[in-house]
Structures are given as structure tokens and as C-alpha cells.
Amino acid sequence: MKVDYYRNAAYFPDIGTCACADIHIGIEDAIQAEGFAMPLEEERELLERFRGVIKKFEPKTLVLDGDVLHEFGRLRRNTKKSFDRITLELFSSVDEVVVLTGSHDKMVDTALEGTDIAPADFYFKDGILFTHGDCVPKKAKENDVKLIVIGHDHPTLDIELKKEPCFLYGEKVWNGKDILVLPAFNPLCAGTTINGMDSWDFMSPFIRESDIGRFKPVITADDEVLEFPELREFRDILNTW
């Protein structure tokens, strides 16, 4: 199944759909509430990324694949304003915006009040199932699902002492279905270095029930896409760098 990659987002040209996960709007507000006063330009960074992705792929549908908000039990005023500005631009840039819930999205219903968007657990189209990955919806096990696109784990690779956000693609690794793991879309999110991780070290049941060694890492650098061998082979190469 063809997938294009750019700036931590994945595009599926066969269905005109782009997906990004772990947007974590409000992480800057949460950090500043802990006493860090320096501005982190979260909203500007997110809008710049969204604009770049939409300009490159011109998707008809944009899937926000869970953890759209950062904080679990509160919706700060500044976070709501930022959420409104970001989503308003997205609503006017593509035909359809799909909001999926993740483990952080206890307040996303409140944030979406006044819109015609209803958050959901998953989105399915032509063999591709989008879901955050913190739990397994019943739909995931049905025969018409060929590829499952998740987030949740924020994968990164440590290459020459630098953390690089990465996609992970595994062919038929979970119940005979392909799994694509998206990196965190928000650059302020701390990534999880996967170099030496076993399947059970991950949070998502989709990965915990798979062989992580069969996943291929993919890294994007500007317009370049770097696709690596399966992790069980690539880890030997990483250890020599």
C-alpha cells in the first residue's frame, strides 16, 4: 500500500488522506505552568508544519490521529484559543477533518463545541484503519482492514547521538495486517528512543502484540525520505555508528 511521508505526517494517495498523530496542543502551556517562562512558539510551529504538509500533499481528508490535546483533565484558556485558531485554519484548508481520540483527549469534546466535528475512536476507509493505538477497537480485527495507522508511542531513533523522529512500518505484523506507527507531530513532544526496545517496552498493544524487529524505520529530512532495513537488521548497523 503506497504511503508518502513528510514532516512527521503520512499521506495515502489512494484515498487522498493525510494523517498525523500526537499533536498535543497545549504542551507549551503545561510546561510554562511548571515555571518555564521562555516562549516555545508551539502554535506557530504546528501551523507551519500543517501548512507545509497540506501544501505538499493537497489532501482531501486530514486525520488527527489522537492525542490532539496535551493535558488530560483541563482545558486552559490559552490552549483553547490556540486549538481554535489551528483547527479553524485546518477546516478551511481541506474538505474534511477527522478528529480521533487518544489517551490525552478527555477534553477534546469540550474543545470542539460549536463545530460540526464529533471525535471518534477510529476512522476507516478503503482498507485503512486510523486509530490512536492506546487500545484496540473491534474494527481492527475485521478482514477488510489491511493497514492500521497509529500513534501513541512517539518513536525516535538515536543516530550518532541525535534523536530523529521516525515512522515504523511493519508488514503483516499484527493478525496478518500491516501496522504504521506515526511519530509525534508536535516538535515539543519528547520522543521515545526505540534503538534497543523490545515489543513489550512499547505502550501500544498493537506493537506489544507484534515483533518489533520486523518493523522498518522511516525518517524524513526536508524533502528526503530515508527508509531503513527491518529493526532486527538495522540495530546491528546502528551499533557500529
At residue 200, the pLDDT reads 95
In the block, residue with C-alpha cell 520522543: 191
In degrees and rounded to multiples of 5, residue 215 shows phi and psi of: -85, 140
Span between the terminal Cα atoms of the chain, in Å: 32
**Total count of domains within the chain:** 1
Neighbours of 39 (CB within 10 A): 9
> Mean pLDDT across the chain, nearest whole number?
92
Q: Which three cell numbers stand for residue 171?
A: 508488514
Q: Residue 38 — pLDDT band, cuts 50, 70, 90? A: low
State yes or no: pLDDT of 71 exceeds 90: no
C-beta pairs of 137-142 under 8 Å, 24+ apart in sequence = 140/175, 140/177, 140/206, 141/175
Q: Which helix (H) or strand (E) holds 72?
A: none
Neighbours of 241 (CB within 10 A): 8
Q: Residue 106 — pLDDT band, cuts 50, 70, 90? A: confident
Averaged pLDDT for residues 49-69: 97
At residue 37, the pLDDT reads 63
Averaged pLDDT for residues 98-104: 90
What are the helix (H) ranges across the chain?
A: 27-33, 42-57, 77-93, 108-111, 205-208, 231-238
SS (H, E, C) 152-192: CCCEEEEECCEEEECEEEEEEEECCEEEEECCECCCCCCCE
Q: Domain span at residue 82?
A: 4-238
Averaged pLDDT for residues 14-19: 98
CA distance 83 to 27: 12
Which range is most confident: 40-44, 70-74, 85-89?
85-89
State yes or no: pLDDT of 175 exceeds 60: yes
CA 132 to chain centre: 8
CA distance 87 to 73: 20
Averaged pLDDT for residues 221-233: 90
State yes or no: pLDDT of 100 exceeds 80: yes
CATH code, 212 = 3.60.21
Q: Which three cell numbers stand for residue 228?
A: 531503513
State yes or no: pLDDT of 35 exceeds 80: no
At residue 39, the pLDDT reads 65
Of 222, 37, 2, give the one whose Cα is nearest residue 128. 2
At residue 138, the pLDDT reads 97
Whether residue 4 contacts residue 57, with contact meaning beta carbons closer than 8 Å, is answered with yes
